Amino acid sequence: MSDFAWGLIGPGGIAHRFADAVQRLPQAHLAAVLGRQPASAAAFAARWQVSGKPAPRVADSLSALLGAGRIDAVYIATPHSAHGDWVRACLLAGVPVLCEKPLVPHGALGRELVALAQQRQVFLMEALWTRFLPVYELIGQWLAEGAIGRLQTIQSSFCFPADAGPESRLFNPALAGGALLDIGIYNLSMSRWAVAAATGQASDPLDLAVDGVLAATGVDARVTATLRFPGAIQAQFVCGFDGAAENSLALFGSQGSILVPQHFWEGTRAVLTRAGQAPEVHDRPFALNGFEYEVAEAMRCIRAGLTESPQMPLAETLATLACMDEFRGRLGVRYPFE
């Protein structure tokens, strides 16, 4: 099997974790890097040049990224507001895409790009890496087999005090800032995942309630939400840039509970407590840094000729976007490009 060549657009912070995973995976390598600042892209490429693999090229345009040498797929890690333009350009070029979460800032653009991917028969996947982690594979098995009885309540938190200015990607509305899209998407997506794992099917909430605190820039600094799903399942979460929290995920059932303590979005430990029994602690460490699982899934799907991942289907991405649109609408958060 030939080596899988990745192109990367947006060599920022999260892209380093992606590059680290790709450069340590067998039969994969980072082939080319494109960024707004050529010097930053060059420094990124130099940082991730590793022995035994081709040196990553630095490209000054998408055509240069795709044209000079074979590229099997592109990973996009720009600020949220730029995702759509890059995804569209790659799809029109016939190049498979793995795009950081959220796929795009709002549902209308998401529906447009999913339709384009399906029309062109080009692979597209939202890079929500948490869904692919080994600890959630284990938790999914527990939920499916009824280890905690009937799932009743999901509670999660993802909060940290952000030391960033109004022009940062966290708070700038022109960059689709706000806690919901940046971190709350993990709470929402994993709540939806747990409902599907427990019931055997993906479900939209029957109703929802949301409250929040807006930053001076008009984006959401904190969001608290409650969603009611079929089967009398409730999900509650808080996400925010203005304080701290446990940052855990807890699943409560009629006969027990499951806890992913601390940093649930990159969890490696799950605690299963069955009614009347001592807690069972199960560790599922990463093979590399955690990103390897979503990368491997994307490569598997692309090599198999699939246009989407069964583990992260496009319908789920659109459903999550629709829910976040509803939250933002109720909070009064609107981006200037909508």
Please compute the mean of the pLDDT values over residues 279-283 and round it to a whole number. Answer: 98
Percent of the chain surpassing pLDDT 70: 99
For 32-56, write each residue's pLDDT tens digit.
999 999 999 999 999 999 999 999 9
Q: SS3 of 102, please?
A: coil
Nearest to 88, CA basis, from 106, 103, 101: 103
Residue 217: predicted pLDDT: 98
Residue 2: predicted pLDDT: 72
Quick one: DSSP state of residue 247? -
Residue 68: predicted pLDDT: 64
Q: How confident is the model at residue 1 (pLDDT cuts 50, 70, 90)?
A: low
Please compute the mean of the pLDDT values over residues 261-266 and round it to a whole number. Answer: 96
Instruction: Check whether the bond before 279 is cis (ω within 30° of 0).
Output: no
The answer to whether 191 and 156 have CB atoms below 8 angstroms apart is yes
Q: How confident is the model at residue 289 (pLDDT cuts 50, 70, 90)?
A: very high
For 310-320, write each residue's pLDDT tens digit.
999 999 999 99
Higher pLDDT, 68 or 131: 131
For 56-115, write each residue's pLDDT tens digit.
999 999 999 998 668 999 999 999 999 999 999 999 999 999 999 999 999 999 999 999
Please compute the mean of the pLDDT values over residues 211-223 and round it to a whole number. Answer: 98
Average pLDDT of the chain to the nearest whole number: 97
The answer to whether 214 and 220 have CB atoms below 8 angstroms apart is yes
Residue 67: predicted pLDDT: 81
99, with CB counted inside 10 A (0-12, 13-18, 19+), is buried
Percent of the chain surpassing pLDDT 90: 97
Residue 140: predicted pLDDT: 98
For 142-195, write each residue's pLDDT tens digit.
999 999 999 999 999 999 999 989 999 999 999 999 999 999 999 999 999 999
Residue 254: predicted pLDDT: 98
For 320-336, write each residue's pLDDT tens digit.
999 999 999 999 999 99
Q: Is the pTM of this model over 0.95?
A: yes
Residue 312: predicted pLDDT: 98
Spell out the residues 6+ positions from residue 313 whose beta carbon is closer than 8 angstroms to its own. none
Q: What is the secondary structure of 73-101 as a DSSP string?
A: EEEE-S-HHHHHHHHHHHHHTT--EEEES
Please compute the mean of the pLDDT values over residues 132-138 and round it to a whole number. Answer: 98
